[in-house]
C-alpha cells in the first residue's frame, strides 16, 4: 500500500485524493493546505493526518506526494518531495519556466524516483481514440488544427495572477501543445503571436507548428471566450481522411472519400473518466508497480515547458520561427 500525501486540498487535490483512495493501490495518509480548514476537512474524509505546510507533510513518512497547488509552486514543491525520496505526481503545468523544468527533471533522475505530470487529456477516451486513428498507417496524418477558446481567465480567481499561474500558456494552452505532439509526433519549429486583448496579461495566442516531413499544425488558444461550445476541438487530416473531436464528448472520423462517417460519443461517461483522470491514476500506479515508462512521465512534462518557452520566445520576437 503506497502511503500518499496530498499537497493542496482544493478542487484537484480533492479529486486526486478520491481517485487514489478508489484505485486501491494507495492510501491517502496525509493532507496539507495553507488553508487549515481545507486540509482538516479533506484529511477527515480519508482518515488522514492534516498538516499546515508542505514541509511538515513531506516529513511524515510518505511514499508519494500529489502536488495540486497553484502553478508557480509546482516545481519547487515537487523538487522538495523528490529530494525527500518520494515518488511525485505534479499537476500541470510541470513548471512555469524552462530552468525550473530542467531542474525538476534532473531531481527526478538523480533521486531515482518516479515523477508524473497531470496531462490527463492523454488518457481521456476521446484523445486516446484520436491517437489510435491518427497513428494507423493508412491515415498518414499531415496536419492538425486545434482550437481552444475558453472563458477560463475568470475562474479560479487567481487565473490572471501571473505570479501564481505563470501565464495562460502554462495554465491552459499547455494541454494543447502536448496534444499536438501526442497525435502528430515531435514538433520541430514553433512560430507564435500573442495579444493582450481583454486582460493585462497575454490572453490570446496563434501558434504555427512545424513537424518533420513538411507536416504542420495550428493552435489557436485564448482565455476570453464565452464557454459556448465548441471551445475545444482538434482536427487531424491525413490522406483523404479526417478526424474531428468535440470537446471531450466525442469524435467523428471519415475513413476515406465516399465512405460512411463514423462517430463515437463519450458524453455520458462519469466526469473523472471522460477527462481521463481515473485512467491516468490506474496508468501511474501500474507504472509504479511495473517500473515501465508512463505516458505522463517527467520527460513529457518537461517537454511541454520547452514548447511553451519556444512560443514565448517567438511571440516576443513578433513570430519568428524557433526550433524546439
Ligand X SMILES: NC(=O)c1ccc[n+]([C@@H]2O[C@H](COP(=O)([O-])OP(=O)(O)OC[C@H]3O[C@@H](n4cnc5c(N)ncnc54)[C@H](O)[C@@H]3O)[C@@H](O)[C@H]2O)c1
Residue whose cell numbers read 461550445: 229
> Which residue lies nearer to ligand X by CB, 70 or 133?
70
187-195 sheet: strands from edge to edge? 262-265, 250-254, 242-246, 232-237, 143-149, 216-222, 204-211, 187-195, 322-323
| Residue 10 interacting with ligand X (CB under 6 A) | yes
The residues with which 67 forms a beta bridge, in sequence order, are: 7, 90
Smallest separation (angstroms) from ligand X to the CB of 214: 33
Smallest separation (angstroms) from ligand X to the CB of 323: 27
Rounded Cα gap, residues 12 and 205, in angstroms: 26
> Which residue lies nearer to ligand X by CB, 5 or 133?
5
| Residue 71 interacting with ligand X (CB under 6 A) | yes
> Which residue lies nearer to ligand X by CB, 65 or 237?
65
Q: ∠ CA(148), CA(149), CA(154), 5° rounding?
A: 125
Q: What proportions of the chain, in percent to the nearest 5, are helix, strand and coil? A: 40, 25, 35
Number of residues that bind ligand X (CB under 6 A): 24
3-state secondary structure of 318: coil
Residues 162-201 that bind ligand X (CB under 6 A): 171
Using the rule CB under 6 A, which residue among 16, 20, 50, 91 binds ligand X? 91
| Residue 8 interacting with ligand X (CB under 6 A) | yes
Residue nearest ligand X by beta-carbon distance: 10
> Which residue lies nearer to ligand X by CB, 73 or 220?
73
Query: How is residue 273 written as a grid cell?
Result: 473518466
Give the DSSP H or E segment for 43.
helix 36-46
Residues contributing to the site for ligand X (CB under 6 A): 7-13, 32-35, 38, 54, 68-71, 73, 91-92, 118, 120, 156, 171
Amino acid at each position: 500500500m503506497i502511503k500518499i500525501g496530498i499537497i493542496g486540498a482544493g478542487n484537484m487535490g480533492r479529486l486526486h485524493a478520491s481517485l487514489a483512495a478508489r484505485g486501491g493501490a494507495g492510501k491517502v495518509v496525509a493532507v496539507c493546505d495553507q488553508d487549515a480548514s481545507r486540509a482538516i476537512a479533506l484529511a477527515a474524509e480519508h482518515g488522514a493526518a492534516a498538516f499546515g505546510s508542505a514541509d511538515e507533510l513531506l516529513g511524515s513518512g510518505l511514499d508519494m506526494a500529489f502536488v495540486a497547488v497553484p502553478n508557480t509552486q509546482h516545481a519547487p514543491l515537487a523538487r522538495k518531495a523528490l529530494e525527500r525520496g518520494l515518488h511525485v505526481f505534479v499537476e500541470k503545468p510541470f513548471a512555469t519556466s524552462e530552468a525550473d523544468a530542467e531542474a525538476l527533471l534532473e531531481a527526478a533522475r538523480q533521486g531515482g524516483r518516479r515523477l508524473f505530470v497531470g496531462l490527463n487529456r492523454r488518457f481521456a477516451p476521446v484523445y486516446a481514440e484520436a491517437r489510435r486513428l491518427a497513428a494507423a498507417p493508412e491515415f498518414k496524418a499531415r496536419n492538425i488544427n486545434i482550437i481552444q477558446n475558453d472563458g477560463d481567465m475568470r475562474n479560479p480567481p487567481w487565473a490572471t495572477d501571473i505570479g501564481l499561474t505563470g501565464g495562460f500558456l502554462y495554465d491552459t494552452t499547455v494541454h494543447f501543445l502536448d496534444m499536438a505532439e501526442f497525435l502528430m509526433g515531435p514538433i520541430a519549429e514553433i512560430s507564435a503571436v500573442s495579444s493582450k486583448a481583454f486582460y493585462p496579461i497575454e490572453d490570446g495566442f496563434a501558434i504555427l507548428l512545424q513537424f518533420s516531413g513538411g507536416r504542420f499544425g495550428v493552435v489557436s488558444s485564448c482565455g476570453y471566450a464565452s464557454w459556448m461550445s465548441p471551445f475545444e476541438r482538434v482536427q487531424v487530416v491525413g490522406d483523404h481522411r479526417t478526424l474531428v473531436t468535440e470537446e471531450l464528448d466525442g469524435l467523428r472520423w471519415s475513413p476515406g472519400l465516399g465512405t460512411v462517417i463514423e462517430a463515437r460519443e463519450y458524453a455520458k461517461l462519469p466526469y473523472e473518466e471522460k477527462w481521463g483522470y481515473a485512467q491516468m491514476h490506474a496508468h501511474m500506479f501500474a507504472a509504479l508497480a511495473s517500473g515501465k515508462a508512463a505516458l505522463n512521465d517527467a520527460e513529457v512534462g518537461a517537454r511541454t515547458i520547452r514548447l511553451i518557452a519556444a512560443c514565448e520566445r517567438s511571440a516576443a520576437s513578433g513570430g519568428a520561427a524557433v526550433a524546439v
